[in-house]
Amino acid sequence: MLSKIVKAGSITNLTDARFFAAYDVDFIGFNFDPKSPDYISPQNALAIKGWITGPKIVAEFANQDIDNIKNIIQFFEPDFVEVDDSFMATILPELHQLNMPVIVRTNQLFSPQEDVMFYVTSITNLQQIKDVSKYIFDLSETTDALPELNNILAIQLKGSPEMEVGIKSFDHIAIATTTPSALAGRNQHHYNLCLE
């Protein structure tokens, strides 16, 4: 069991989805922004979603057409929707009409709102935030040494492309390496994501 809330964002392949689901992460996110290099089509995301159980599913959007977002939500049926803070005022009322829990991606510092479940922000903002209880800190957006993580409750990691279908390295998300083990039928290193 992981010692922190973990969101795995921008998942584009089944290998990542199954890896993170096997580690009992809390959230798995799929990026539906067509301008993003991490974009996945709703059809491909739905196929991957059908292969995993456990994590809550997050539909990640940028500043997109509201009707398009609603159509994807209706088709994909996520548990949460993540939107960019620049879009928050416009989209939040629409999402609340759909009874859809909301995560807001931001680099601004907000007074947490009751109608927002979590805010996702860069780990580099940690020192500026007094109450971390509603924040998921993105570890994928920094190349600096990570600060002390004991006082934070939630982190975000990011998926990455496969080298070939079903083959990839998870070194970019390794926090500590333990003994080798078989993962998905391949000789991989078993990564300790507990972050204790």
pLDDT in tens for each of the 196 residues of the chain?
A: 568 899 999 999 999 999 999 989 999 999 999 999 999 999 999 999 999 999 999 999 998 899 999 999 999 999 999 999 888 888 888 888 989 999 999 988 777 788 889 999 988 888 888 888 999 999 876 656 666 777 888 999 888 766 666 666 555 554 422 223 322 332 233 333 444 3
What DSSP string describes 77-125? Answer: --SEEEEEGGGHHHHHHHHHHTT--EEEE-SS--PPPTT-SEEEEEGGG
Tokens for 78, please give them. Answer: 């996520």
The pTM of the full predicted model, rounded to 2 decimals, is 0.82
Q: What is the SS3 assignment for 47? A: helix
**Which residues neighbour 52 within 8 Å (Cβ) at sequence distance 6 or greater?**
17, 18, 21, 28
Domains of the chain plus CATH, in order, are 5-161 (3.20.20.70)
Q: What's the CA gap between 158 and 120, in Å, rounded?
A: 12
